[in-house]
Amino acid sequence: MSPATDQRTLLTAAVAVPAIVIFATGLLGMNLLMALILGGFVAARLFFPDDRNVRIAVTIGAVIWAVVLPYMHDEAGDFMNIATLILAYSVMALGLNIIVGYAGLLDLGYVAFFALGAMMAGWFMSDFYANAGSGGEGVHFLVADFTENLFGIHLNFLIVVLIAIVVCTIAGMIIGLPTLRLRGDYIAIVTLAFGEIIGRIVANGDQLKYADAPLIGGALTDIFGQGAVFSGGREGIGPIDKIWFPWSDEPFEALNLRPWYLVALVMVLLVLFVNYRLRDSRLGRAWIALREDEVAAASMGVPLVKTKLLAYGTGAAFGGMAGVFLASRLSVVNADQFQFFFSIFILAMIILGGLGSIEGVLIGAGVLVYINFKFIPDLNDKPREWFNLDLDLSELSSAIYGFLLVIMMVLRPQGLIPERRRKMELVEHVGAGATTGVGEPSTEPTYEARA
Amino acid sequence: MEASTEAGRLPVRASTWERVRGWIGEYGLIALLLAMPVVYGIQDISDDGSLARLGNNIVDGLSNGAIWALIALGYTLVYGIIELINFAHGEVFMIGSLVTAAWFWGVIGLSEQTAILGLIGGLLLSLVVAMLVSGTLNVMIERVAYRPLRTAPKLAPLITAVGMSFILQNVGILWIGGSQEGVPQLVDPQKELFSIGGVQVSQGDVLSIATTIPLVIILTSFISQSRMGRAMRATAQDPEAARLMGVNVDTTISLTFLLGGLMAGAAGLIYALYQTTIWYFQGFTAGLIAFTAAVMGGIGNLQGAVLGGFIIGIIQQISDNRIGGEWTPAVVFAYLVLIMVFRPQGLLGEETREAG
């Protein structure tokens, strides 16, 4: 470690560690001790970026930290609510990160997978299909005793997650198919269109009667019962069953957030594992090669079709998984949730955090969930509280949100924690972006700069 | 590239496949676009014995499409020059509606009772105001949200664009509230002017097409003939080379945003007159539809954007009238996906590196 980098690391740590501790305690409401430990992890990683033992120790420590975290806080408190949401959205952001960050396929329709996952929960974890099952008794499989007596189709959460993963993987590949010949922004347009189409179908799904479907109408009616339709339309579907596992007595409660948090944590750990392993695998390298230069990747023998479709499929599967979880947590599946805004919300997390960088994506998810679900709602009474002003900020919420997006991007266009490879290109002028050599980034616009 | 390797292995089958592919590329999209009018035309003839209903759909579609065409021009100009999807463009259009309908008409005292001469003068004046306000706004957006990020990764300006769009929507909410507001019916858009064979042409139709066509002609001749237009085309082709030739790239990009904003402002005024309601969220849907139109015509191509706008307008009107308005966005976007499959470069676009 040369003196120059040492100084730089010190500076980064001096800014980043207090910032994280203050963000976690002051804004999120985390326990001070837990926040300090978190800061310690970050500092350890900053000072020993390449030390394998430190990395393993920090990883194990962070997992234990994350498991202990809910027991240090009020089980129904604000912090637990935000923490659970951050985890659930992190799953989606990490999924989208595979498509956009690794493979470089700009996807503006990620809401489609959230919608499909949530719809699976609506179909298979509620009384929506009230006439399903022989004699209209409903279909039950591995559910809590209390749920056994309800109408409709009720399957175990884990089974629904599996169904959602399969459905979303297939849907992701289908959506990917028309984009295979396209590049850049054209992919964005097609995915955006699919996102809107699926949103529309869910919103108007109460008009789609299975009995009217050609050929398979009869079979669908047998499965889902008389008069079954595709979705609840604007009314939505609810209530969705709470998560229940065979080893727990009762389903999860809305007011005890610890089990919800732990389930979300398991999902995040799973997704993180997949992300890290994929990034360093043959497939992950193929994705990054594809992102950097498609023609060069193809001529080095990367199978374009397979590689692209696998990116879409993997990313979509995580979106579906998080969709089932959020549907069960919010207990409702409503067409209004599936707006274009949602895709942008997730995309903003990964761009803000730093495209392709796993740590960055997690921080991006944390910051944006905090802004969207806590900062802006909390802001409303602040003028009165602080300045005794009679000003209602709830009317300004989307402007504040937009303003924060603009400011964050203008101040740090490469994201909070840029991926190492990209950082080298952008700041240190190694490889593709090299123009002026040492020191400052080039001030001349290079219009070629691509994501 | 793919084709040549395939041709080396399987010469005969590959050439047939190539021919089929070429045919689909050439005519597939046109067949696709004609499918809906033709199907409903046949249905009309067998039901009513005339094409009047389809004709009415097309006339209404054209006048709606004129608005989308004007907005699409802004998307296509900006994309052509800096390869950015300007997500805030729909909001610039919305502000164009608001500034006239919610403010300027009140200032100059324009109402349903105004006499015809005053009305025409007032409307021309509000056209100028709407265009100037939207144009300036678009230039300011570029200055604040896109220019600082010109060296940044390509996705960064996309997020600031979305941020600007939220801010402008909020301006709309603060200005007229969160619900759709009725505005004075200065020109009764439904009033029938004349009808040909059962196809009614109303005042609104004439108004929107008669405003759009001259604007488009002025814009295209400005870009193709003036010195500044030439600078724009040079910058679009190769910014670095244009700079070396003495083109001020920053000014040219600002000019592009100004022109796009002017068109969006005009569209905003026509929209307020034609729909007689304004809404803070109108720009979002309009933006997506107009963007689809720009892509359909071939993004970066001005004539294509106008053509795409009219086609989308007709598709939308037929779908509103026959399938139901709640399905229209799905129909429009399904068309968009099919266009991307059959002819990614759009109707009039050239084959590019991005959409090869």
Q: Which two tokens stand for residue A182?
A: 């396209």
Confidence of residue B355 (pLDDT cuts 50, 70, 90): very low
Beta-carbon separation of A351 and B156 below 8 A: yes
DSSP lists the bridge partners of residue B199 as B196
Q: Quick check: helix, strand or coil at residue A429? A: coil
Q: Closest approach of chain B CAs to the CA of A12, in angstroms?
A: 21
Give the per-residue pLDDT at B227.
93
What is the per-residue pLDDT for A111? Answer: 94
Q: Are A181 and A317 in contact (CB under 8 A)?
A: no
Interior angle at CA B168, CA B167 and CA B171, nearest 5: 95
Q: What's the CA gap between A108 and A197, in Å, rounded?
A: 13
* Sign, Cα dihedral of A451, B4, B9, B10: positive
DSSP strand pairing (B181-182 vs A125-126):
unpaired
Which of A213, A319, A201 has its CA nearest to residue B333? Answer: A201
What's B124's domain CATH number?
A: 1.10.3470
Q: Which chain B residues contact residue A449 at CB under 8 A? A: 151-154
**Mean pLDDT value of segment B335-342:** 83
Chain B residues in contact with A352 (beta carbon < 8 A): 159
Average per-residue pLDDT in chain A? 84
Which chain A residues are closer than 8 Å to B344 by Cβ? Answer: 181-182, 186
pLDDT in tens, B227-282: 999 999 999 988 899 999 999 999 999 999 999 999 999 999 999 999 889 999 89
pLDDT, tens digit, 9 for 90 and up, residues A408-418? 888 888 888 88
Contact A450 B154 (CB under 8 A): yes
A404 touches chain B (CB under 8 A): yes
Q: Is B326 on the interface with A (CB under 8 A)?
A: yes
Residue of B64, B4, B47, B106 lying closest to B318 (CA atoms): B64
- The Cα–Cα gap between B26 and B30 comes to 8
Separation of alpha carbons A136 and A134, rounded Å:
5
Residues of B in contact with A447 (CB under 8 A): 82-83, 150, 239-240
B355 Cα to chain A: minimum distance (Å): 5
ipTM over 0.90: no
CB A228 within 8 A of CB A131: yes
For residue A248, give the nearest of A374, A321, A158 by alpha carbon. A158
* Beta carbons of A380 and B191 less than 8 angstroms apart: no
What is the per-residue pLDDT for A3?
Answer: 58
Asked if the structure places residue B272 within a domain, the reply is yes
Classify domain A78-416 by CATH architecture.
Orthogonal Bundle (1.10)
**Residue B298 and residue A157: Cα distance in Å, rounded?**
46
CA angle A112, A113, A117 (to 5 degrees): 120
The answer to whether the bond into A239 is cis (omega within 30° of 0) is yes
Q: Are residues A402 and B85, on separate chains, in Cβ contact within 8 Å?
A: no
Q: What is the pLDDT of residues A133-179, one digit of tens each?
A: 776 677 888 887 777 778 888 898 999 999 999 999 999 999 888 88
B319 CB within 8 Å of a chain A CB: no
Q: Are A364 and A354 in contact (CB under 8 A)?
A: yes
Q: Report the predicted TM-score, pTM, of the whole model to 2 decimal places.
A: 0.85
User: In DSSP terms, which residues pair with A229 in a beta bridge?
Assistant: A209
Cβ distance B269 to B130 under 8 Å?
yes
Tens-place pLDDT, residues B20-37: 877 777 777 788 888 888
Phi then psi dihedrals of residue A141, to 5 deg: -150, 115
User: What burial class does residue B113 get, using C-beta atoms within 10 Å of its C-beta: 0-12 exposed, 13-18 middle, 19+ buried?
Assistant: exposed
For residue A342, the distance in angstroms to the closest alpha carbon of chain B comes to 12
Question: What is the count of structural domains for chain B?
Answer: 1
CB contact under 8 A, A182 and B333: no
Chain A residues with beta carbon closer than 8 angstroms to that of B327: 200, 204
* Extended strands (E) in A238-307: none
pLDDT tens-digit map of A53-90: 998 999 999 999 999 999 988 888 889 999 999 999 99
Q: Do A451 and B333 touch (CB under 8 A)?
A: no
User: Which domain, by its residues, includes B131?
Assistant: 50-342
Q: Looking at the complex, does the CB of residue A61 fall below 8 Å from at least one CB of chain B?
A: no
pLDDT of A443: 40
Residue B315 lies in a domain: yes
Q: Is A435 a residue whose pLDDT tops 50?
A: no
> What are the tokens at A351?
């761009």
Q: What percent of chain A has pLDDT over 70?
A: 89
Q: What pLDDT, on the 0 to 100 scale, is given for residue A292?
A: 84
Question: Inter-chain contact A410–B341, Cβ cutoff 8 Å?
Answer: no
Q: What is the pLDDT of residues B31-86, one digit of tens each?
A: 888 888 888 989 888 888 888 889 999 999 999 999 999 999 999 999 988 888 89
- For A126, the 3-state DSSP assignment is strand
Backbone angles phi, psi at B200, to 5 degrees: -90, 135
Nearest-CA distance from B40 to chain A in Å?
21
Query: For residue A345, how many C-alpha atoms fall within 13 Å in the half-sphere facing its CB?
Result: 22
Give the pLDDT score at A392.
67
Q: In the 8-state DSSP scheme, what is residue B326?
A: G
- In whole angstroms, what is the distance from residue A406 CA to residue B148 CA? 11
Spans of all domains in chain A: 1-72, 78-416, 419-451
Where does residue A270 rank: exposed (0-12), middle (13-18), buried (19+ CB within 10 A)? middle
pLDDT in tens, A188-225: 888 988 999 999 999 998 888 887 777 787 788 877 87
Long-range contact pairs involving B220-223 (C-beta distance under 8 Å, separation at least 24) = B220/B302, B220/B303, B222/B259, B223/B259, B223/B302
pLDDT band at A434 (very low <50, low <70, confident <90, very high): very low
- Give the distance from residue A106's alpha carbon to the nearest chain B alpha carbon, in angstroms: 9
Pairing of strands B199-202, B192-196: antiparallel
Q: Find, in chain A, the residue whose alpha carbon is nearest to that of B354.
A: A183
Q: Does A386 touch chain B (CB under 8 A)?
A: no
Measured in whole angstroms, how far is the alpha carbon of residue B152 from the centre of its chain?
A: 28
Do B153 and A201 count as a contact with CB atoms less than 8 A apart? no
For A51-54, the CB contacts below 8 A with 24+ separation are: none
